[in-house]
Amino acid sequence: MPDILKYDVLVIGSLNADLVVRTVHFPRPGETISGDDLQIIPGGKGANQAVAAARQGASVAMVGRVGKDGFGPFLLNSLKSDSVDIANISTDESATGTAMIVVDSSGQNSIVLSAGANGKVTSKDIDALKIKAKVLLLQLEIPLETVIHAAKWGRQNGMIVILNPAPARELPDELLLSADYILPNETELSLLTGLPVRDVLSAEQAAKALLNRGAKNVIVTLGNKGALFVSNKQVSQVNAYPVEVVDTTAAGDAFIGGFASFLVEALKSDSELPDVLLLAPALQIKAVKYANACGALATTMFGAQPSLPTKEEVEKFLS
């Protein structure tokens, strides 16, 4: 039997080729508009979060699928160049996942996904893994039943399970219960709970509705209002860093990679796999502040993976 490999962060999720066009405004239904030249950029929430954590110094492995087309090697090379272990990313007959992205002049985006090979990641892929990690990162661009299986598997194996419920959808309580941290943005939180989320107060109320359903810690990213940490022990708002926004794509992924790597760094002295209950509230807020800086920096550059900051860049920004 092969040896178990140990990583700081394991990502089970999606890889997408982002087909990005910049326009002045989003097209209305039936409208044709012109944009800048098409850019093909490595993306996918899973792969972005893997790169985001790796650039913060974490050792990272990723599980996923790409297709046999040219986008597959393009995405794998991007991960490899950031030292993400790609041994558990397999190649499928389907097309590689793609994301059609329009970025408007204010830096906001609108995205249409075509799952392709991401839709073929199965629970069997997880059962076959010979990997341990301190933190497991999950999103919703692979089949939901695989995400649920992965979350339970991560918990059983002593990992801190972080769920980014994106793209937004309703979720079963069993998944909420299996995650240590749930990190939605305002839109995702609203869809997840069926409650309006317009400001910090309504975000807190919706986050508490998730706690009532079994979630342990909810961290809501609020764009230029920062982030809100809500658990049964505390509610804390962390302010946003003022930056000049170029493109918000992957800002949430930068936040999550930064949060995960900060926790890993804090737990480095522990020889055993971490227990999330050992994490002091103050430490978690520090992690949110650091993650906020990662997210802010990502908005200052165009594209998904090219915009994810390194540890040095974040430290310089914070100092």
Determine if 140 is a binding residue for ligand RIB (CB under 6 A): no
Per rule CB under 6 A, count of chain residues that contact ligand RIB:
14
Applying CB under 6 A, among 8, 18, 125, 186 the residue interacting with ligand RIB is 18
Pick one of 5, 40, 95, 111: the residue that binds ligand RIB (CB under 6 A).
Answer: 111
Closest C-alpha among 285, 294, 286 to residue 315: 294
Q: Any catalytic annotation for residue 253?
A: yes
254: left (phi over 0), alpha (psi -120 to 50) or beta: alpha
Which range, of 73-81, 206-214, 249-257, 259-267, touches ligand RIB by CB under 6 A? 249-257
User: Which one among 45, 149, 208, 216 touches ligand RIB, defined by CB under 6 A?
Assistant: 45
Question: Segment contacting ligand RIB (CB under 6 A): 126-134, 150-158, 181-189, 248-256?
Answer: 248-256
Q: In the set 8, 12, 19, 44, which binds ligand RIB (CB under 6 A)?
A: 44
Binding residue for ligand RIB, selected from 250, 260, 264, 308, defined by CB under 6 A: 250
- Interface stretch with ligand RIB, choices 124-132, 247-255, 258-266, 277-285 (CB under 6 A): 247-255
249 binds ligand RIB (CB under 6 A): yes
Measured between alpha carbons, how far is 152 from 155 in angstroms, rounded to an integer? Answer: 5
Give the start-end residues of each E strand in the chain.
5-12, 16-22, 39-43, 60-67, 85-92, 97-103, 109-114, 131-138, 160-163, 181-182, 217-221, 227-231, 235-238
Subset of 192-231 contacting ligand RIB (CB under 6 A): none
What's the closest the beta carbon of residue 64 comes to ligand RIB, in angstroms? 12
Q: Which of 18, 85, 247, 253 is catalytic?
A: 253
> What is the token pair recorded at 145?
């039943």
Question: How far is residue 10's CA from residue 4's CA, in Å, rounded to a whole number?
Answer: 13
Neighbours of 283 (CB within 10 A): 14
Closest distance to ligand RIB from the beta carbon of 81 (Å): 16
**Residue 48 or 94 with smaller CB distance to ligand RIB:** 48
Decide if residue 138 touches ligand RIB (CB under 6 A): no
- Categorise residue 57: left if φ over 0, alpha if ψ from -120 to 50, beta otherwise: left
* Cβ at position 212, least distance to ligand RIB in Å: 28
Q: List the structure tokens of 140.
A: 């919703």
Q: What's the one-letter identity of residue 33?
A: I
CA 131, CA 120: separation in Å to the nearest integer? 20
Do 100 and 19 contact (CB within 8 A), yes or no?
Answer: yes
Nearer to ligand RIB, 176 or 250 (CB): 250
Strand bridging mode 60-67 / 160-163:
unpaired
- The set of catalytic residues is 253
Q: Which residues bind ligand RIB (CB under 6 A)?
A: 16, 18, 43-45, 48, 99, 111, 141, 249-250, 252-253, 304
